Chain A
């Protein structure tokens, strides 16, 4: 459904080159066209275009990358405007005021977003609108500071120092320069660790947490950067307007407009907002000239209808169309044809796996679980569960549906807080820790997969694995290198450029494991990685797990496929109705009458 994977990073060089040429052409036109035409009004349109493109690109860092739909971004723009104008009033150049405004906006952004980021979806949007209203009303109320409703004016001191000019070219140069800087920052974020983490967070927050991402923190980075950039544009725009007032500085329609340029250009893409502004600003300006004076409301009506139509029929914006064009060219390139990732046929191993190879002696304990308890309402889903995991061991966790296996997993990976009991993990330095959040678990080396696969749909296979690799690596190149190695090992190397969504279920399960493996965990929690995949894949998965174990990683695996459990596990725990009913070597456990009863019902125990 999305074309947001189109980044300069993974496109083949020829397409990258073309995209670059297109981008440079647009940007050059934005600077050179008004100079060539030399008309003040054209200058104004292009300055407006740069301002909106810059604001929209900055918005996109939060609204697009992080997926947090802010409709209150005028707060930050307004803070930038006001701080800039106030400081000019004190004789301080807007070049300095710009950074003061940015700093304040970033602080405000973090302060108001921190509580809001705990809210999902529409609530964040509503909260941003509410904050915007509060800021506007406060700006009206504190007249001594803000000038109240009458607003504030700057003295018309001409010159670069004050950002006020008689001719228009310098204003265009500043607006254009700001746009370039903001685009560069947006591009840098998108192609680096922060961008991957933001998009992972947007796509699947829980999977992102499992990949060791502190999702709240990365979203706060995004909002702080976005707010600071918006504020800087706000300072410049205030100097350009020479006059600010609460009604226009903290305006909801203005906030919506900023978001709309991004929507129409392509939310979440680096250059979509730019494209949206470049297309829409001139059309809007001229349409207003053509329609506005004649019948009041007609122009706004057309505007609203266009917005609805774009959202309905072009949800990926103009960038969606552009990248569809690129995709077609990509499909023609050899070796890239069709991203259908059915797993390759491999030499079939023996139907019944032989006895496990020489199993290395389990080492010291690495995870201790003591007396875990969890209630959901009246349901006692985990009842005094205790077990230990040793280094280099595969621990099988089995039990009928609803036995509470996944709940236990959630509690030993930080996704659920136990009502009682304790989980401790031995850190690499040998000390014992009790992690709390998913990020803590990831940091100490516990990685997990999800029963229902959670790929980052808008990313390619390689990017998915890179999200895991970024847990260990800071630079993009290192992460890519590590991801490719992991993919090689997991048999996913051929699909690196495929969209995660195009994989088969078996492929997705392996992707899930690959992402965790790229985190180089010491303890691996696998939740039904073999459910729903075909026989051949099960056998391959068994080999894979054994090879992972052989590298010294300890594994806890929830599994339904008995064949796999028997073949893999050094030790098996059977859960039923939230409590451990049996424990031991795999072949002992399956003969336990309690276990048979739990799985098959009471009558079978007597026959057995």
Chain B
């Protein structure tokens, strides 16, 4: 029973980690409707930035968020403006995918060039301290990630529902042409949304950096999981992404313990494929996200 509880908690904490990375992706994927294969590399860039700032200024890793979030926000906006937007009207989405794949390859190798193949370890600053709550143990840093993911979901949902610009973003997500007719500057909305998505990753980077060693390949692992989370949650659904992340975290944790750690990826991707095939609108998505009848 204790083991079960611990596996459960581990799964939820892992879910928090996937959620905070997946939320940014669901904004980009759901609203701009671009597959950003470089999403994981955004995380990597953020983590390297957090590492550099923490070690250079000798500050707590969390404080780097003040700089990393705006950095990633601008980085995301530039990506959308100069790499994606010119191809928004391309007849098929292949080209956009290739751009992000190219960006991802370039960033990974740039990191290799700048930082070498060694790992960069941000000081844990006490965040890897385990708390014993009853029979289970969790890390301070994991709890923070989990809490931050929850707050991010609430905050973004409020923002999208209650602000002028948030509503504009939703309008664009629903119907780009109609939104344009309503006088919304669609391209600008895309740029800001992409920036927001990247900024979420910036927050994730500052929170995750003290927990995991940073390497140039850290993004490649997370990006596939993040896509699974987003598809599971339903395109563009922030709450969905959060719940999807929890599901994947639990599947990962339970399959690793009860089936075998070498097959956890098979378990995660099998669930992903089943969802794609049986419920392409996502576990928590509305019905219309994918319906497409001419």
Residues of chain A at the chain B interface (Cβ within 8 Å): 1-2, 63, 67, 69, 71, 115-116, 118-123, 125-127, 129-131, 133-134, 137-138, 140-141, 202, 204-207, 256, 259-260, 263, 267, 295-301, 303-308, 310-312, 315, 410, 415-416, 450, 452, 454, 457-458
Alpha-carbon separation in the docked complex, A123 to B93 (Å)? 11
Return B183 CB to nearest CB of chain A, in Å. 23
Return A161 CB to nearest CB of chain B, in Å. 37
Whether A315 lies near B273 (C-beta < 8 A) is: no
Q: How would residues 74 to 113 of chain B score, 1 for a CB under 8 Å from any chain A CB and 0 otherwise?
A: 0000000001001100111111111101111111111111
Whether B112 lies near A300 (C-beta < 8 A) is: yes
Return A322 CB to nearest CB of chain B, in Å. 18
Whether B94 lies near A137 (C-beta < 8 A) is: no
Chain A residues lying within 8 Å of B290, measured Cβ to Cβ, are 119-120, 123
Return B279 CB to nearest CB of chain A, in Å. 11
Known: A130-B224, A296-B112, A311-B87. A304 touches B280 (CB 8 A): no
Chain B residues lying within 8 Å of A118, measured Cβ to Cβ, are 277, 280
Q: How would residues 266 to 291 of chain B score, 1 for a CB under 8 Å from any chain A CB and 0 otherwise?
A: 10011011001100100000000010
Whether A299 lies near B109 (C-beta < 8 A) is: yes
Known: A301-B106, A415-B294, A450-B294. A315 touches B90 (CB 8 A): yes
Closest to A264 in B: B98
Whether A126 lies near B276 (C-beta < 8 A) is: yes
Whether B91 lies near A2 (C-beta < 8 A) is: yes
Chain A residues lying within 8 Å of B97, measured Cβ to Cβ, are 69, 71, 122, 125
Q: Chain B CB within 10 Å — which of A138, A298, A308 has the most?
A: A308
Chain A residues lying within 8 Å of B272, measured Cβ to Cβ, are 130
Chain B residues lying within 8 Å of A129, measured Cβ to Cβ, are 224
Chain B, 238-283, CB within 8 A of any chain A CB: 262-263, 265-266, 269-270, 272-273, 276-277, 280
Alpha-carbon separation in the docked complex, A249 to B293 (Å)? 38
Contact of A304 among B90, B105, B216, B266 (CB under 8 A): B105
Whether B112 lies near A119 (C-beta < 8 A) is: no
Whether B112 lies near A297 (C-beta < 8 A) is: yes
B69 at the interface (CB under 8 A from A): no
Chain A residues lying within 8 Å of B293, measured Cβ to Cβ, are 206, 410, 415-416
Q: Chain B CB within 10 Å — which of A126, A138, A205 has the most?
A: A126
Alpha-carbon separation in the docked complex, A303 to B98 (Å)? 12
Closest to A120 in B: B292
Return A476 CB to nearest CB of chain B, in Å. 25
Alpha-carbon separation in the docked complex, A118 to B116 (Å)? 43
Contact of A1 among B90, B110, B263, B269 (CB under 8 A): B90
B20 at the interface (CB under 8 A from A): no
Known: A296-B117, A450-B294. A121 touches B93 (CB 8 A): yes
Whether A119 lies near B280 (C-beta < 8 A) is: yes
Whether A116 lies near B277 (C-beta < 8 A) is: yes
Alpha-carbon separation in the docked complex, A26 to B92 (Å)? 30
Chain A residues lying within 8 Å of B112, measured Cβ to Cβ, are 296-297, 300-301
Q: How would residues 184 to 202 of chain B score, 1 for a CB under 8 Å from any chain A CB and 0 otherwise?
A: 0000000000000000000
Known: A137-B262, A137-B263, A307-B102. A130 touches B269 (CB 8 A): yes
Return A166 CB to nearest CB of chain B, in Å. 37
Chain B residues lying within 8 Å of A127, measured Cβ to Cβ, are 273, 276-277
Whether B113 lies near A141 (C-beta < 8 A) is: no
Q: Chain A CB within 10 Å — which of B86, B262, B276, B293 has the most?
A: B276
Alpha-carbon separation in the docked complex, A312 to B85 (Å)? 10
Contacts A303-B109, A450-B294 aside, 12 further interface pairs with beta carbons under 8 A come to: A115-B276, A116-B276, A123-B276, A123-B280, A127-B273, A130-B272, A133-B224, A134-B266, A263-B95, A296-B117, A300-B109, A304-B105
Alpha-carbon separation in the docked complex, A256 to B216 (Å)? 19
Chain A residues lying within 8 Å of B98, measured Cβ to Cβ, are 259-260, 263, 307, 310-311
Contact of A267 among B83, B94, B224 (CB under 8 A): B94
Chain B residues lying within 8 Å of A121, measured Cβ to Cβ, are 93
Closest to A307 in B: B102
Closest to B230 in A: A126
Return B32 CB to nearest CB of chain A, in Å. 12
Alpha-carbon separation in the docked complex, A310 to B90 (Å)? 14
Chain A residues lying within 8 Å of B103, measured Cβ to Cβ, are 304, 308
Alpha-carbon separation in the docked complex, A69 to B96 (Å)? 11
Chain B residues lying within 8 Å of A312, measured Cβ to Cβ, are 83, 86-87, 99
Alpha-carbon separation in the docked complex, A307 to B110 (Å)? 15
Known: A120-B292, A308-B83, A311-B87. A263 touches B94 (CB 8 A): yes
Known: A1-B91, A312-B87. A115 touches B277 (CB 8 A): yes
Alpha-carbon separation in the docked complex, A93 to B101 (Å)? 38
B204 at the interface (CB under 8 A from A): no
Whether B109 lies near A140 (C-beta < 8 A) is: no
Contact of B87 among A263, A301, A305, A315 (CB under 8 A): A315
Contact of A126 among B101, B106, B231 (CB under 8 A): B231
Chain A residues lying within 8 Å of B95, measured Cβ to Cβ, are 263, 311, 315
Return B8 CB to nearest CB of chain A, in Å. 24
Chain B residues lying within 8 Å of A300, measured Cβ to Cβ, are 105-106, 108-109, 112
Chain A residues lying within 8 Å of B90, measured Cβ to Cβ, are 1, 315
Alpha-carbon separation in the docked complex, A140 to B261 (Å)? 12
Chain A residues lying within 8 Å of B105, measured Cβ to Cβ, are 300-301, 303-304, 307
Whether A133 lies near B99 (C-beta < 8 A) is: no
Chain A residues lying within 8 Å of B29, measured Cβ to Cβ, are 122
Return A213 CB to nearest CB of chain B, in Å. 14
Alpha-carbon separation in the docked complex, A315 to B228 (Å)? 28
Alpha-carbon separation in the docked complex, A416 to B292 (Å)? 11
Chain B residues lying within 8 Å of A299, measured Cβ to Cβ, are 109
Return B244 CB to nearest CB of chain A, in Å. 14
Alpha-carbon separation in the docked complex, A263 to B108 (Å)? 21
Alpha-carbon separation in the docked complex, A134 to B276 (Å)? 15
Known: A118-B280, A141-B262. A308 touches B86 (CB 8 A): no
Chain A residues lying within 8 Å of B110, measured Cβ to Cβ, are 297, 301
Return B273 CB to nearest CB of chain A, in Å. 6
Whether B35 lies near A125 (C-beta < 8 A) is: yes
Return B1 CB to nearest CB of chain A, in Å. 30
B222 at the interface (CB under 8 A from A): no
Whether A67 lies near B262 (C-beta < 8 A) is: no
Return B278 CB to nearest CB of chain A, in Å. 8
B227 at the interface (CB under 8 A from A): yes
Known: A125-B35, A130-B228. A256 touches B101 (CB 8 A): yes
Chain B residues lying within 8 Å of A134, measured Cβ to Cβ, are 265-266, 269-270, 273
Closest to A124 in B: B276
Contact of B91 among A63, A301, A308, A457 (CB under 8 A): A457
Alpha-carbon separation in the docked complex, A267 to B98 (Å)? 12
Give 21 CB contacts A-B under 8 Å. Answer: A1-B90, A67-B92, A69-B92, A130-B228, A130-B272, A133-B265, A134-B269, A137-B263, A137-B265, A141-B263, A204-B294, A260-B101, A263-B95, A263-B98, A296-B117, A301-B105, A303-B109, A304-B107, A311-B95, A312-B86, A410-B293
Contact of A69 among B83, B91, B94, B108 (CB under 8 A): B94
Alpha-carbon separation in the docked complex, A315 to B98 (Å)? 10
